[in-house]
Amino acid sequence: METTGNTRAALVNRLLETRERLIGAILTGNNVVNIAASLDMTTVAEGVETLQQKELLRALGCTQMQGFLFSAARPSAEIRKLLVPSSDEVSAVA
């Protein structure tokens, strides 16, 4: 059984490891966004759930995002209605 000091040390080590992984992920994301921008490509971040994630991604230069922050998942039929014009709209254009 660990003592309180050892438990704290283990917790601090885990937090530092998590911080290092997070920094690595941010740097990797920044590199991906920079490479895409240099190639005139659009970057899309998936799974954006919080304003903090959105702000970080925007600061990194990400151009498009999707995720629960913007909309909950929708049935495909509902999405299809948004993307495919109704027959009335097609007649009005023609």
Tokens 């009335």: give the residue: 88
Name the burial class of residue 30, with classes exposed (0-12), middle (13-18) and buried (19+) by CB atoms within 10 angstroms of its CB: middle
Angle at CA of residue 71, ends 69 and 74, nearest 5°: 145
Taking the chain (94 residues) in runs of 10, the rounded mean pLDDT of each run is: 71 79 69 83 89 90 91 90 73 56
* Sequence ranges of the domains in the chain: 4-93
Cα distance between residue 7 and residue 26, in whole Å: 29
The residues facing 45 across adjacent strands are 65
